[in-house]
């Protein structure tokens, strides 16, 4: 019998504990890893919200020493990773815990890579470049959207190139993800919108990816349904705990989907854009989404029809052009409802920037699983449409 290896699919995931209060299990898992000295990674905003102190106090009460590192910016930079890794080494830490959004979690992944290898994080750009296991890692997300806590991605900004680069490897999947909807209570409506749309993009791109399969499809479609129905009311009422739990669940499912199916042109272009102008990742995704859907639609028509159905569009009897029109309309109306209506030009992008942005987008690994193969001019046109 001849096997088609291209049809095989893998699925990687951390150990996941989901539900209110799950963050408090951090001491049990740290102790199970034999932690004597935890390196706790976060950022100033999460520290100000009180989550860092809570986790630190829980660990100290369990007899575990803690070194806190909050020198992480909105888009974690090479220097921040290297500084954190040196502090991890000099303090004699043995387990990494990160609490925050995608930035602290990606930075923590980078710190783990550097502390294990003793080399610059820039050397690990790309796919499967890691040869030595990182220290045990526990991630606690405080936003519902990035899914860094379940993914095999780490995204780091290189200011010298003004570019975000990807590290993709099952070696950066954390050992444990403690997904606690209570930890998202300090998110404001704007951050809720940005991260929620980010999760929607994860799910859509994972479902239409050339790497999609039965192990990822169910997670992607359910994430789309949950976000479509619950993000708008949550942005209007960020105190609703039931809505927060549904969006947190959707974020987790979208993360499991894209971590294994990989992504597409939205993320390739967003990484380039965010690195160039130091913009929030979720916002970049939101501004590009419908334009990439329009570009990709004819290459994955049946898949996009199922995306439309997951967004509560009754496609029975619709022609393919009508499905495309209705899907794009729903995406735009969702963005408008949660306040993400800006154009790239409003954020400082000019026509002269587009060739530079396109060049880096084509180098991003996410472009490889986009359903439509892309030339440099193709990418330039999509950026131009988003201006």
148 in any annotated domain: yes
Whole-angstrom distance, CA of residue 148 vs CA of residue 282: 13
Residue 228: inside a domain: yes
pLDDT at position 116: 97
Q: Please tell me whether residues 345 and 222 are part of one structural domain.
A: yes
Mean pLDDT of 328-347: 92
Average pLDDT estimate for 358-376: 94
The reply to whether 25 and 99 lie within a common domain is yes
Domain-embedded: residue 243: yes
Residue 78 lies in a domain: yes
Question: In this structure, are 106 and 86 located in the same domain?
Answer: yes
Task: Report pLDDT for 10.
Answer: 85
**Total domains, the chain:** 2
b/e 156-168 (16+ beta carbons within 10 angstroms → b) = bbbeeebbbbbbb
Domain identity same for 197 and 92 = no
- Same domain for 82 and 126, yes or no, is yes
Say what percent of the chain tops pLDDT 70.
Answer: 99
Please report whether residue 210 resides in a domain.
yes
Which of 184, 214, 238 is the endpoint of a domain? 184
Q: What is the pLDDT of residue 5?
A: 67
Whether 170 and 313 map to the same domain: the answer is: no
123 and 223 both lie in a single domain: no
- Do residues 218 and 105 share a domain? no
Q: Extract the tokens encoding 168.
A: 């993709």
Q: What is the pLDDT of residue 92?
A: 97
Q: What was the pLDDT predicted at 8?
A: 79
- The angle subtended at Cα 59 by Cα 56 and Cα 60, nearest 5°, is 85
Q: Is residue 3 part of a domain?
A: no
Q: Is the pLDDT of residue 228 over 90?
A: yes
86 contact partners, CB below 8 Å, separation of at least 6:
none
| pLDDT of 348 | 87
One domain for residues 193 and 226: yes
- Any domain includes 2: no
| Average of per-residue pLDDT values in the chain | 95
Q: Does 89 score more than 80 pLDDT? A: yes
Supply the DSSP symbol for 177: E
- Whether residues 165 and 247 fall in one domain: no
Distance of CA 92 to the CA centre of its chain: 30
Residue 1 forms part of a structural domain: no
pLDDT at 275: 86
Q: Provide the CATH number for the domain around residue 294.
A: 1.20.1090.10
The CATH number of the domain holding residue 101 is: 3.40.50.1970
N-terminal to C-terminal alpha carbon distance within the chain: 52
283 and 172 in one domain? Answer: no
| pTM to 2 decimal places | 0.94
**Domain termination site, one of 149, 184, 219:** 184
Please indicate, yes or no, whether residues 215 and 255 belong to a single structural domain of this protein: yes
Query: What's the rounded mean pLDDT across residues 218-228?
Result: 98
Are 254 and 220 within 8 A, CB to CB? yes
Residue-wise pLDDT for 247-291, tens only, equals 999 999 999 999 999 999 999 999 999 888 888 888 899 999 999
The whole domain housing 136 covers 10-184
Q: How far apart are CA 285 and CA 298, in angstroms?
A: 21
Which of 184, 206, 226 is where one domain is finished?
184
- How confident is the model at residue 3, as a pLDDT? 66
């Amino acid at each position: 019998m001849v096997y088609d290896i291209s049809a095989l699919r893998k699925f990687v995931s951390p150990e996941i504990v989901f539900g209110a209060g799950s963050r408090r299990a951090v001491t049990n898992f740290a102790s199970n890893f034999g932690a004597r000295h935890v390196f706790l990674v976060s950022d100033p905003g999460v520290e100000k919200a009180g989550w860092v102190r809570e986790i630190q106090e829980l660990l100290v009460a369990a007899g575990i020493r803690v070194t806190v590192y909050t020198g992480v910016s909105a888009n974690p930079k090479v220097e921040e990773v290297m500084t954190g890794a040196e502090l991890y080494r000099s303090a004699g830490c043995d387990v990494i815990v990160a609490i925050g959004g995608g930035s602290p979690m990606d930075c923590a992944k980078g710190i783990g890579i550097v502390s294990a290898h003793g080399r610059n994080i820039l050397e690990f750009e790309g796919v499967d470049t890691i040869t030595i296991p990182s220290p045990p890692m526990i991630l606690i997300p405080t936003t519902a959207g990035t899914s860094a806590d379940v993914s095999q991605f780490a995204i780091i900004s290189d200011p010298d190139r003004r570019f975000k680069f990807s590290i993709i490897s099952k070696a950066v999947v954390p050992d444990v993800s403690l997904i606690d909807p209570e930890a998202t209570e300090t998110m404001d409506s704007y951050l809720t919108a940005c991260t929620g749309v980010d999760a929607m993009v994860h799910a859509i791109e994972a479902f239409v990816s050339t790497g999609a399969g039965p192990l990822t499809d169910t997670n992607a479609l359910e994430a789309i349904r949950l976000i479509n129905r619950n993000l708008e009311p949550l942005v209007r009422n960020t105190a609703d705990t039931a809505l927060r739990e549904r969006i947190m669940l959707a974020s987790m499912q979208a993360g499991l989907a894209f971590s294994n199916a990989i992504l597409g042109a939205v993320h390739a272009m967003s990484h380039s854009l965010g690195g160039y102008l130091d913009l929030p990742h979720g916002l970049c995704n939101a501004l590009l989404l419908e334009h990439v859907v329009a570009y990709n639609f004819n290459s994955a028509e049946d898949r996009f029809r199922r995306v439309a159905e997951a967004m509560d569009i009754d496609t029975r009897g619709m022609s393919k052009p009508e499905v495309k029109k209705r899907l794009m309309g729903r995406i735009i109306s969702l963005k408008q409802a949660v306040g993400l209506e800006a154009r790239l030009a409003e954020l400082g992008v000019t026509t002269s920037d587009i060739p530079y942005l396109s060049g880096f987008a084509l180098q991003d690994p996410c472009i490889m699983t986009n359903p439509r193969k892309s030339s440099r001019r193709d990418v330039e046109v999509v950026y131009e449409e988003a201006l």
